[in-house]
Amino acid sequence: MLGPYFFGNVLGDPPRTYFARHDWATWISLGMSTSSLPAEIRLHKDYPQRDWANEATLPSGRFRDVDWACEPDWWRTETWWRGWIPTDSSAGDRPWYIDMDEKDAYVTSGSRFMFPDLQRRARRADLQDLQAGIEAIVNLGTICADTPTPPLYDDSVLDGTFNTIKELRNEGARSKRAALDRVGWLIWWINAIPTGLADLPNDIRALVGRDLHSLYCLRGFVIDLAQDWGEINLSFWVFHNVPVFYAWGFDENNDDRFCRLRPEFVILEEEFDNAPDVFPDRLPDDKRSDLIEKTWHYDDYLQSDTFDTAASQLVYGSDVEFVVIDFEGHQIDGRRFLALET
């Protein structure tokens, strides 16, 4: 009998899987340890619009609670590229924006504080280059002109002076987030349209062609399977080693749509000798066989491959809604929208 149908990376291998009880929930992560999840991640799932200007920060300027530039954060349609942001690693020669915990240097000007001149100029140049790369890609016409891009950042503020060291370092952290936002967007584009690099001017190609994806781990997405499955492109993420984190609870356990993501099958796919303590119960053989078969009846977008073709649904003028799915655009955008199932 065939094993469960799972997702694979570019080599066809399933991602490394981790399990934990964390933040009042049982979590499964694909491609990165669950230890990287912020302790308060569930509190920020339906967080109202955060007042970023007044968000509590650490001495480096990093947000104290769930800094989206360096920690796994929830999937949100308005910032769907952020899971591709590279995070800090042990690599030696790191770009200035990678380490959100590093405190920015400063010089004094009277009673005020400034960024050192070389640092400031290099930082502004990189930010302008990254923005130019995104604008060049949008102008190519390979993606929709209204495709969301990272929020604007006024890099001229780095030329100014600051009342306190804390203000300076908070601004330094904002500039790092602006850079990481753009790098994440570019990494997404490189993986979504790898042939697009050939159409870029040489200077822009050299910029966006930096191999940051292979040098650093990606931030990843925290997803609510029951809520997000219709918008996400899970197979695309796993294929490109974007970490994915999801909680496994009652709703997920009782929906066949998510059967291939069941912890028992993830364990089986990874060929662990024993199930972790967080999942001590083994499925009976007959139930496991039934669920394994069901994994083959859902496609990579977690849609059922069986349909009800009742005669009443085929009558012209009925309430059936016919749609065309642009799978090429779906792959490029990394997300999708579905008509209501009938």
How far CA 215 is from CA of 92, 94, 301, 316, in Å, comes to 10, 10, 29, 55
Alpha-carbon gap, residue 169 to 154, rounded angstroms: 16
- Per-residue model confidence (pLDDT) at position 3: 65
DSSP tally for the chain: helices H, then strands E: 10, 7
Tally of CB atoms within 10 A around 46: 9
What's the number of CA atoms in the CB half-sphere (13 Å) around residue 78? 2
Report, as ranges of residue numbers, the positions in the chain whose pLDDT lies below 50.
1, 273-275, 311-312, 314-316, 327-342
- Strand, coil or helix: what is 56? coil
Alpha-carbon gap, residue 64 to 215, rounded angstroms: 26
- Per-residue model confidence (pLDDT) at position 80: 92
- Per-residue model confidence (pLDDT) at position 227: 94
- Per-residue model confidence (pLDDT) at position 67: 95
- Strand, coil or helix: what is 107? strand
